[in-house]
């Protein structure tokens, strides 16, 4: 799920005196102040402690979001809004000024702390949510609570016995505003445009319907409660988890605010599990639920968003890798063609020399031409191996499976393997097999598998050694076994021989040539045809390789 990443790093802002000359700036300040006043008056109506400490203080979230989105120069809007709201409520001028100052410092310092932490507005990372909980909800709100309660105390509006309760209510109410309202504004402001498929709209509508039904059950329909005041309110949690998992942080925040508003409305109307003897006690019980719910689903929403972003990054990386592999395969195919052309020319001219077209050759010249042809064939084999491996990696391995008689496939190898057997002075034995035995395989790929495995056995078998072939049917599989009396492989390295480019001997002075792709290609081909290749070996005791392929039906 792609989310626009917006950080709180600000560009240099104009001085306040210069900004005051801008009608746009004045309009923004006025809008912030107006919204702040409306939200503040609504919050103060919820049975405020000492007349000014609201149990749910939405303006904290509005002020924090305004400074994060618009910059600290919007602080006059917060100050004016708080001043007007508290004055209308009946606070003396000095008290209203002190409370407004605390509310303004709360937003400005909270936003500053979040900027310093590298906060991102989308809240789609766990570290950003934790920063909001710590700096925005827990610490910055202490400033407003402390300044506000001190102002009330020194103005004689709260006595010593009411300081602790007023401070706690003020702080928790502000914290809830920061946890609910600020995230709601931020996640919708970072990416306001939506492109939602019709099925997701239907799912969102179904989710909202579920929330409404749950609200009716919890706050309207009387249900016998036997397990405490929070007995039935957690029916909302599966729905909130649904919102977070399916709609990310935006869904989690929106659903949490929706549930919180319904909970507040129901409790104010005297319905639901939070109802106590007084409205104040009811709303205080509600605070715990809203605070825990807000923090929990902010964290869950961020975790879901991080997972989705990681999935998108992995998908993009996979697509990039596939494109790179395809480009590599195309490049190697072109290079293979370009290299084959001169190699075939070398082979052709060498053959003409051997035939004496340009005159008879001496014994040394004949030997030299034979060496040219041998090295040309070796280089051509290396090119074919590299090209085959590139095609496998790129996922462009065309297969044309058909019925292939095993005996015919092995018999056809003799003309290719005979020169290597003579040169290495190695004896190869094969007692033959049932002529009706056949496998379901691509004949070209099967031939390369057999050549790679048997050729590998011949290469690593010393003079006067043996290579033995055998075939048998085991259930619905055909097993082709190649055993040699070669140098073998250390037991701890047997598992690595099928890795691309792996060789037991390393360095430029290796006794046995090659690039280490033969067995890797052979196993990939075998697996692509529905089979496999396994090996058993010990150092100095030769190797036993088994090629397994499906029987032709």
- pLDDT of amino acid 352: 83
Rg (C-alpha) for the chain, rounded Å, is 39
Q: Which of 193, 226, 253 is the last residue of a domain?
A: 193
Residue-range definition of the domain harbouring residue 245:
195-396
- 427-429 and 438-441 as β-strands: parallel, antiparallel, unpaired? unpaired
Residues in the chain: 553
Residues 362 and 220 in one domain: yes
pLDDT of residue 406 exceeding 80: yes
Residues 277 and 307 in one domain: yes
Measure the CA–CA gap between 423 and 14, rounded to whole angstroms.
86
Residues 199 and 189 in one domain: no
Residues 128 and 266 in one domain: no
Q: Which of 396, 425, 443 is the last residue of a domain?
A: 396
For the chain, the average pLDDT equals: 82
Residues 237 and 366 in one domain: yes
Residues 304 and 436 in one domain: no
Residues 131 and 13 in one domain: yes
- 466-474 and 427-429 as β-strands: parallel, antiparallel, unpaired? parallel
Measure the CA–CA gap between 80 and 66, rounded to whole angstroms.
14
Q: Which of 193, 219, 236 is the last residue of a domain?
A: 193
- pLDDT of amino acid 512: 62
Residues 209 and 159 in one domain: no
Give the model confidence (pLDDT) of 502-527 as tens digits: 776 554 445 565 567 788 888 888 99
What CATH code is carried by the domain that includes residue 182? 1.10.1760
Residues 499 and 539 in one domain: yes
Residues 222 and 258 in one domain: yes
Which position has the token pair 């602080």? 75
pLDDT of residue 529 exceeding 60: yes
- Percent helix, strand and coil across the chain, each to the nearest 5: 65, 10, 25
Q: Poorest-confidence range of 62-66, 354-358, 401-405?
A: 354-358
Read off the tokens for 484: 């040699």
Residues 158 and 243 in one domain: no
Measure the CA–CA gap between 411 and 407, rounded to whole angstroms.
6
Evaluate the CA torsion angle 85, 89, 93, 94 in order and state its sign: negative
Residues 43, 87: contact at Cβ < 8 Å?
no
Residues 121 and 150 in one domain: yes
Measure the CA–CA gap between 352 and 349, rounded to whole angstroms.
5
As to burial, measured by CB atoms within 10 angstroms (0-12 exposed, 13-18 middle, 19+ buried), residue 86 is: buried
- pLDDT of amino acid 302: 87
Give the model confidence (pLDDT) of 317-359 as tens digits: 888 877 777 777 677 667 766 777 787 788 788 888 878 777 8
- pLDDT of amino acid 228: 47
Give the model confidence (pLDDT) of 89-147 as tens digits: 888 889 889 999 999 999 999 999 999 999 989 888 889 999 999 999 999 999 999 99
**Continuous H helices in 45-74:** 58-70
pLDDT of residue 282 exceeding 90: no
Q: Which residues of 498-523 are buried (b: 16+ CB within 10 A; e: fewer)?
A: beeeebbeeeeeeeeebebbbbbbbb
Count of domains in the chain? 3
- pLDDT of amino acid 226: 45
Residues 413, 454: contact at Cβ < 8 Å?
yes
- DSSP class per residue in 377-423: HHHHHHHHHHHHHHHHHTT------EEEEHHHHHHTTHHHHHHHHHH
What CATH code is carried by the domain that includes residue 480? 3.30.565.10
- CA neighbours closer than 13 Å in the CB half-sphere of residue 302: 20
């Amino acid at each position: 799920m792609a989310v626009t990443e917006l950080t709180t790093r600000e560009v240099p802002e104009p001085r306040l005196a210069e900004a005051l000359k801008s009608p746009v700036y004045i309009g923004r300040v006025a809008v912030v102040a107006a919204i702040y006043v409306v939200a503040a008056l609504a919050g103060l109506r919820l049975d405020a402690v000492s007349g000014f400490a609201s149990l749910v203080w939405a303006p904290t979230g509005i002020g924090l979001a305004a400074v994060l989105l618009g910059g600290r120069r919007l602080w006059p809007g917060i100050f004016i809004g708080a001043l007007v709201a508290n004055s209308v409520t009946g606070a003396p001028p000095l008290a209203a000024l002190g409370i407004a100052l605390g509310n303004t410092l709360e937003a400005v310092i909270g936003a500053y702390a979040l900027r310093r932490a590298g906060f991102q507005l989308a809240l789609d990372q766990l570290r950003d949510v934790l920063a909001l909980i710590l700096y925005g909800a827990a610490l910055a709100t202490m400033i407003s609570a402390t300044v506000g309660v001190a102002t009330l105390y020194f103005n004689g509006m709260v006595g010593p016995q009411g300081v602790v309760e007023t401070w706690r209510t003020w702080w928790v109410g502000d914290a809830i505003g920061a946890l609910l309202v600020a995230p709601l504004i931020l996640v919708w402001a970072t990416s306001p445009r939506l492109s939602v498929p019709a099925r997701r709209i239907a799912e969102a509508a179904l989710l909202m319907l579920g929330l409404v039904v749950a609200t009716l059950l919890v706050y309207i329909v009387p249900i016998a409660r036997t397990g405490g005041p929070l007995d039935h309110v957690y029916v909302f949690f599966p729905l909130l988890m649904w919102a977070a998992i399916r709609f990310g942080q935006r869904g989690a925040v929106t659903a949490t605010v929706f549930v919180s508003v319904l909970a507040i409305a129901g409790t104010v109307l005297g319905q639901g599990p939070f109802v106590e003897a007084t409205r104040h006690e009811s709303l205080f019980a509600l605070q715990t639920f809203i605070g825990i719910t807000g923090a929990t689903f902010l964290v869950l929403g961020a975790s879901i968003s991080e997972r989705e972003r990681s999935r998108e990054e992995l998908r993009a990386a996979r697509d990039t890798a596939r494109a790179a592999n395809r480009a590599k395969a195309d490049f190697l195919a072109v290079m293979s063609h370009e290299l084959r052309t001169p190699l075939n020319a070398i082979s052709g001219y060498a053959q003409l020399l051997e035939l004496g077209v340009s005159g008879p050759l001496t014994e040394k010249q004949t030997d030299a031409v034979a060496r040219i042809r041998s090295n040309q064939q070796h280089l051509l084999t290396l090119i074919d191996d590299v090209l085959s491996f590139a095609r496998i990696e790129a996922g462009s391995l065309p297969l044309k499976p058909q019925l292939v008689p095993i005996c015919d496939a092995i018999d056809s190898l003799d003309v290719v393997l005979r020169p290597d057997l003579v040169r290495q002075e190695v004896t190869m034995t094969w007692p033959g097999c049932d002529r009706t035995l056949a496998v379901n395989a691509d004949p070209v790929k099967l031939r390369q598998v057999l050549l790679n495995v048997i050729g590998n056995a011949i290469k690593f078998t010393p003079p006067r050694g043996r290579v033995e072939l055998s075939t048998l049917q085991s259930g619905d599989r055909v097993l082709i076994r190649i055993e040699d009396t070669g140098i073998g492989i250390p037991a701890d390295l047997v598992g690595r021989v099928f890795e691309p480019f792996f060789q037991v001997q390393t360095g430029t002075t290796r006794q046995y040539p090659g690039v280490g792709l033969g067995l890797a290609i052979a196993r990939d081909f075998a697996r692509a045809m529905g089979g496999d290749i396994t090996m058993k070996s010990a150092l100095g005791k030769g190797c036993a390789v088994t090629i397994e392929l499906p029987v032709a039906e």
